Structure 1
Amino acid sequence: MITRRSLLGGLAAGAAATAGLATAARALGAPAPAGPSAAGLPLHIVNSSGAYANSSVWVYILGNDGTQQVHVTADGQLKPVAVADNGPDGFTDYAIPLAAGGTTTLQLPPMSGRIYTALGGKLKIKAVADGNGKPALAYPAGWVASDPNYDVLHDCAEFTHTAGGMYCNTTMVDMFSVPLALRLTGARDQTTGTLKDGARARIFSDVKGAEGFDRLVVGDKRVIAPGHGLDSGLFGKDYLAPAIDEAWTAYASKDLTVTTNAGTFTGRVSGDRLGFTGPKAVSFAKPSTRDVLFCDGTLAAPNDGTLGPVAAVLGAALNRSTLTTHPAQPTTDPAAFYQQRLTNHYAAAMHAATRDGRAYGFAFDDVAGFASYIEDPAPKELTLTLTAF
């Protein structure tokens, strides 16, 4: 199974040194695996927002074909990014307009990337030279007040399309703005990301009403993820510290077990480190609030089959506030999630808003299968719907 986390990193090597770009590029996916070429996949864009006409919505398909950063044209061609594509205003215009009415159908070639939707105005995306002199894009970073797209209503879905299938998800890992739903048909008929009626407004209200989270709400445009809020001074850098301390204290005197595909790891805290024995000895320094929210730092998860999966389980448990209360991880009952005062209320609001209870509120949200992610080995078509505001 390919998850969002296994798609990370593909564009980071070509990322420009632009505010917010590293995170945006890192989330765009790994290069498509080598193999026979997949055919273009029909991609249907449905505007059911009720707030914007088709004439005020633009789509951008940006990513990596395994060798270079690319964009997709309205007629389904895969084009390499070029600095010469910047216009007189200094930005590219890779926007694809929607059809005058009804459904817009495009062709999605083999690649990994993001499908951006921009409402009410086009995105300003600059082509630049990366550290190796290769063309790259400064992707939108709506959580950065100085980003040229800060005032543009936009959001995205992520995907990897290969000869082996389609792997895709909606994401709120960086921010939430536009309610999006994905339907993937092929060997199965699957849908994810659909919000309950009126849920966009409830997300804004729930996050604004959570203690310490209120400054993450940017008018009616977006809600910024708390990790980015922390980096911008909008969220407390030590918000989760008491909960993290409580967990480290608890497991100084009792065992914590973490079960992954590699087997069961048994952990105890000694000093500042949580050390595990089991299939392989792994250990973790006490994480910071930022480490937990970004699922990075001491909780970085390498794709090694041992330390990485344990880090993911720990990160998920700390975001969901189940680590101290449940000494056998991962916790699989969603009724136990987000029940403590100090928890990731942003992620909680995202999950409460979706019809299937699945969302990508943080990078390890796929632990125990709670992410808004779907895949199909024999895809026939993908539909991205801008659902009602």
Structure 2
Amino acid sequence: MTPRHQRTLGRRRFLVALAGAAVAAPGVAAIAPHALAGNTTKAADGALPLTLVNNSGSFDNASVHVYIVGNQDGKQVRVTPDGTLAPIAASDNGADGFTDYAISLAGSGETRLDLPYMSGRIYVSLGEKLKLKAVTDGNGNAALQYPAGWVESDPNYPVLHDCAEFTYNAAGMFCNTTMVDMFSVPLSIRLTGAKDQTTGTLRDGGRAAAFAAVRETEGFGSLVVDDTRVIAPGHGLDAGLFADDYLAPYIDEAWSTYAGRDLKVTTNAGTFTGRVRGDQLAFEGPAAVSFAKPSTRDVLFCDGSLAAPNDGTTGPVAAVLGAGFNRSTLVSTAAQPVTDPAAFYTTGLTNHYAKAMHAATEDGKAYGFAFDDVADFASYIQDTAPTGVRLTLTPF
């Protein structure tokens, strides 16, 4: 499969596109609706069977609440308990000020729904329901405030919850589990169709191991919130739980290294050759692109100086640089991207959160940061002729 950093993608600004400032907009790893239309071999046809399975071992079906929310044709929508699509409406807020868009699981066994064409998220909350407020955005359109489990003042902060992301349209099904913002509930996706694929499955004891690894790493321990979730370091930085200069020595070393030698970044557009000149890492090749020296926050969010526009040149180079910084391969290897996972996260200053997330999964794939799809290490699967998708809450 072609690495996504080499495709022409609209990437990772999914929730912002849904509702602008009205939506709590995490740094998601969602896939644009047009993501792979150019690679379509067979159009998906109509509603896709979605099976929800509770194998958590810690919560019974009555304690699991599911929410399918997102976007269709530029409008915010939700899937109702009977499997139909309904618009988000401010009038849906109840007396407590929040909607109740929860879908309950069957009394026992598996739960079957039909998933319509849409782009969105499947949230699961355990024990308590999520508090989602329908609001009106700056353009007068109905929008939904998504949970922000990394924000202590968010009404969903005490609730055990997590999500998977997807786009389902005539081009097929494109989906992933995500730890870009936080990790809480172990989830696995199985996608059947032209192939039979599974992603996101944790190793036995993987959740506890991930929590312990982050808790025990110097500088990262404050990201663990009891036994509820682990917050990604970028959000931890914004909350004052993580040092805003943590990666500064590594960033300085990279800037110093490539002031004296070439850095080569290969994307689908070709190979870009760069040097640090002044305060810019400037590349020549298929196009002239340059980047200001990033901050720790830029690296963790893959944003700011490392923002990736959907232009086929600057965007893919930014993605590769972001991966090299997070995986701490950028200084040691002048030809990027590095594709051997044994070389990832080997330095003291690295994204130990992402390292722990990858170590917890059976196949070593996870969305630990926004550009984790570089060289195909994200927990992402796709099928252009899907026949069904299965979301499983796996054992804690």
TM beyond 0.5: yes
CA distance in 1, matches of 2:107, 2:234: 39
1:221-236 alignment, distance < 5 Å: 221-236=228-243
Q: Secondary structure at the match of 1:132?
A: coil
Equivalent residues in 2 for 1:186-265, closer than 5 Å: 186-265=193-272
Compared CA separation, residues 256 and 177, structure 1 to 2 (3 A): same
The answer for the alignment partner of 1:9 in structure 2 is 13
Are residues 1:101 and 2:108 paired?
A: yes
Instruction: Quote the Cα distance in structure 1 between the aligned partners of 2:84 and 2:322.
Output: 39
Q: Which structure 2 residues correspond to residues 122-141 of structure 1 after superposition, within 5 A?
A: 122-141=129-148
Residues 287 and 163 (structure 1), Cα distance of their counterparts in 2 relative to 1, 3 Å cut: same
List aligned pairs for 1:348-367, cutoff 5 A: 348-367=355-374
Amino acid at match of 1:366: D
1:32–1:66 contact (8 Å) kept in structure 2: no
Give the counterpart of 2:66 among 59, 63, 87.
Answer: 59
Within 2, Cα distance between the matches of 1:118 and 1:213? Answer: 25
Per-residue deviation, 1:38:
4.0
Matches of 1:311 and 1:32, distance apart in 2: 21
Match of 2:325 among 293, 303, 318: 318
Cα deviation, residue 348, structure 1: 0.1
- Asked whether the equivalents of residues 31 and 66 of structure 1 are also in contact (C-alpha less than 8 Å), the reply is no
Task: Map Cα deviations across residues 300-341 of structure 1 (whole Å, 9 max, x no partner).
Answer: 001111000000000000000000000000000000000000
- Counterpart of 1:175 in structure 2 is 182
8 Å Cα contact 1:76/1:108 also seen in 2: yes
Paired letter, 2:26: T
Distance 1:40 1:28, change over 3 A: same
**Relative contact order, higher structure (CA 8 A, sep 6+):** 2
Residue matched to 1:85: 92
Give per-residue Cα distances to partners, 1:90-115, cap 9 Å, x unaligned.
Answer: 00000000000000111100000000
Quick one: distance in 1 between partners of 2:18 and 2:354? 29
* CA deviation after TM superposition for structure 1 residue 17, in Å: 3.9
Matches of 2:10 and 2:379, distance apart in 1: 15
Match of 1:372 among 369, 374, 379: 379
TM-score using structure 1 length:
0.96
Shift of 1:74: 1.4
Question: Which residue in the other structure is 1:273 paired with?
Answer: 280
Residues 62 and 107 in structure 2, CA contact (< 8 A), matched pair in contact too: yes
Is the CA contact 2:68–2:123 (under 8 Å) kept in the aligned structure 1? yes
Contact 1:16 1:137 in 2 (8 A): no
Q: Which residue of 2 aligns with 1:22?
A: 25
How does 1:137-176 map onto structure 2 within 5 Å? 137-176=144-183
Unaligned runs of 5+ in 1: none
Aligned-CA RMSD value: 1.8
Alignment of 1:319-334 (within 5 A): 319-334=326-341
- Identity level (%): 68
Contact map agreement 1:10 1:64 (CA 8 A) in 2: no
Taking the TM superposition and a 5 Å limit, the aligned residue runs for 1:276-355 are: 276-355=283-362
**3-state SS, counterpart of residue 97 of structure 2:** coil
